[in-house]
Amino acid sequence: MIRMRRISKRKRVITAGVSIAFSIGLVMFLYFFSPHRVGIFFNEIVFLCVLIAITPSAILDYLNQRWIESIEDQMPLLVRGISESQETGINIIEALENVIENKLVRGPLAEEVQKVTVQMSWGLSFEEALRRFRNRIGSPIVNRFCALVLEASRSGGRIRKVFAATSGFMQEIREMDRETSSQMRPYIIIIYAAFFVFVFTSIILVTSFFQPLEGTPQMLSPVVLPSVGEYKDFFYRTMVISGLMGGLMAGKISGLRALGGLKHSISQLVIGYIVFFVMIPPNWMVV
């Protein structure tokens, strides 16, 4: 089982920059040393460079999002555990330690809570420790929780009551997020369906229309239809753009994050290219 861990924003940005720079450098290298081959394998080079540019970012984003979702799933348990512990009259540090000792939360959230207790035991204020906890996680649910608690602390309210009221509220928010995600799945299916309709329509046009008419003069005109290879190039490149943009759209719809759709982009690109490769082989295979 892969251990879930936080991937910092800086690391993700650097990875994306290096991946894009490597893709651009690869194209320049191939064009400098073998421009003729670049012209022949242009579609394949574009396909490969797009995958190189987005795959590392997709992997890191997926791992970081799994880490965040694991924390969000356990936040209601953390708040409930703190509220129940404080009912016995112990302070906030002891309540957090009690949650960890009783294993009410586990995995990445337990590690983050442990950091909070250590920071507070070293003399850091509860507000500052909570603020650092919020900045490390970067989750909407955690941000709401921290905002409520910090505001109650500043206004002189009783933190114990805030924790008690927040527990049910956070559980409802998490359930609403899951329900929203499930309601968005049909739209993801529509995006995939539209992509595959484009792919198979392209195949039918090339194999049943453009290939039989290749080289045939147009009616009442001396102009002949372009080579079928030009249509293949057009559909290959359009497939890459459609798969990439469709995946980003799927991520925006399902998780309100375009980067979360990179995995959809990769799956559409790979499946689309394989189907095209089998059904309408690239030009260099039929030369």
pLDDT of the residue at 103 = 83
Angstrom distance (rounded) from CA 35 to CA 22: 18
Confidence of residue 125 (pLDDT cuts 50, 70, 90): confident
Q: Residue 164 pLDDT > 80, yes or no?
A: no
Confidence of residue 247 (pLDDT cuts 50, 70, 90): very high
- Cβ atoms of 174 and 76 within 8 Å: the answer is yes
Residue 124 falls within a domain, yes or no?
yes
Angstrom distance (rounded) from CA 73 to CA 142: 11
The pLDDT of 66-86, averaged and rounded, is 84
Angstrom distance (rounded) from CA 147 to CA 4: 26
Q: pTM of the prediction?
A: 0.84
The pLDDT of 264-278, averaged and rounded, is 95
Max CA distance (Å), the chain: 94
pLDDT of the residue at 274 = 95
The pLDDT of 124-143, averaged and rounded, is 86
Q: Residue 159 pLDDT > 70, yes or no?
A: no
Residue 23 falls within a domain, yes or no?
no
Greater confidence, 2 or 199? Answer: 199
Confidence of residue 236 (pLDDT cuts 50, 70, 90): very high
pLDDT digit string, tens, across residues 14-41:
999 999 999 999 999 998 888 888 888 9
- Percent of the chain's residues with pLDDT above 70: 90
- Three-state DSSP at 5 gives coil
Whole-number mean pLDDT of the chain? 85
Residue 26 falls within a domain, yes or no?
no
Domain boundaries, position 133: 74-170
Which candidate, 281, 277, 262, places its Cα nearest to that of 54? 262
Number of domains in the chain: 1
pLDDT of the residue at 1 = 45
Residue 177 falls within a domain, yes or no?
no
Residue 274 falls within a domain, yes or no?
no
The pLDDT of 234-261, averaged and rounded, is 91
Greater confidence, 278 or 221? Answer: 278
Residue 278 falls within a domain, yes or no?
no
Residue 43 falls within a domain, yes or no?
no
**Residues facing 217 on adjacent strands:** 224
Angstrom distance (rounded) from CA 67 to CA 107: 9
Residue 152 falls within a domain, yes or no?
yes
